[in-house]
Amino acid sequence: MLEDVLVAPSVLSADFARLGEDLKSIETADYVHFDVMDGHFVPNLTFGPDVLRAIKATTDVPVDAHLMISNPDEMTRLYVEAGADMVSFHLEATNHAHRIVSYLRESGVRPAVAINPATPVCMLDSIIEDVDMVLVMTVNPGFGGQKFIPSSVAKVAKVRALAKEHGVSPMIEVDGGVSEQNAGQICAAGANVIVAGSAVFKKDDRGAAIRAIKDAGQLGLAKRA
């Protein structure tokens, strides 16, 4: 597993009227987390590929595009062409996970797979060897600012155990209700990429918020068995 904790602020919590300024305020982040919602797979509607293209023109921070959409087989290409550095698609939304992963690799984009809170970790068995990251949703997707689901800690540990069983070490990302307060516990369980929305963008000093989450996560990582 990685020895560093990475932080990916979610632009879902940014001020859309000042997006350029907000992106500059998180330039010390490891990734920009870009939440794509289609109003069908999740009950909300957010960004399209043109917004991603604008973000790529504004910041040098790599973009992790999280596709919370019902048709990733058809739509992934648009986000690759818009410049995504990594794409997370939901396992629940496709019957062709390996096809998407192959396309992403051929396109020079890092492939990642996401699972919802109700999806069992065993569903990852056939794909975990092929992806660079597993995204564990720690809230039900669709809206920012939700409370972290406590059972997610055990789920992260199960993903880590499955990866070890398969002899691979993908990044494990958590998304939803994560902050400086629980980052240590989550990273101790196996996560090493933290998506933080409100915990970063609702702070006056975003750089300090990123550092605080990363430091808390590193303390947790040091406690791993």
CA proximity to 148, closest of 138, 133, 157, 162: 138
Residue 1 reports pLDDT greater than 50: no
Q: In the numeric block, which tokens belong to residue 40? A: 């069908």
Q: Give the count of beta carbons closer than 10 Å to the beta carbon of residue 169.
A: 13
Label residue 110 exposed, middle or buried (CB < 10 Å: 0-12, 13-18, 19+): middle
State the pTM of this model. Answer: 0.95
Q: Is residue 177 part of an annotated ligand binding site?
A: yes
Pick the catalytic residue: 22, 30, 38, 175?
175
User: Please, which residues bridge with residue 111 across strands?
Assistant: 87
Confidence label for 74 from pLDDT (cuts 50, 70 and 90): very high
Q: Is residue 40 part of an annotated ligand binding site?
A: no
Q: At what angle do helices 180-189 and 206-222 cross, to 10 degrees?
A: 30
Pick the catalytic residue: 22, 35, 64, 132?
35
User: What's the whole-number mean pLDDT along residues 151-173?
Assistant: 98
Q: Which domains does the chain have, with CATH numbers?
A: 6-222 (3.20.20.70)
Q: Give the count of beta carbons closer than 10 Å to the beta carbon of residue 141.
A: 21
User: What's the whole-number mean pLDDT along residues 192-211?
Assistant: 97
Q: Is residue 220 part of an annotated ligand binding site?
A: no
CA–CA distances in Å: residue 164 to residues 57, 158, 167, 183? 38, 10, 5, 22
User: What's the whole-number mean pLDDT along residues 182-209?
Assistant: 97
The reported pLDDT for the residue numbered 58 is: 96
Q: Is residue 48 part of an annotated ligand binding site?
A: no
Residue 142 reports pLDDT greater than 80: no
Q: Is residue 176 part of an annotated ligand binding site?
A: yes
Our answer to whether residue 175 is catalytic in this structure is yes
Length of the chain: 225
Q: Is residue 98 part of an annotated ligand binding site?
A: no
Q: Is residue 39 part of an annotated ligand binding site?
A: no
b/e code 53-90 from CB counts within 10 Å (16+ = b): bbbbeebebbbbbbbbbbebbebbbbbbebbbbbbbbb
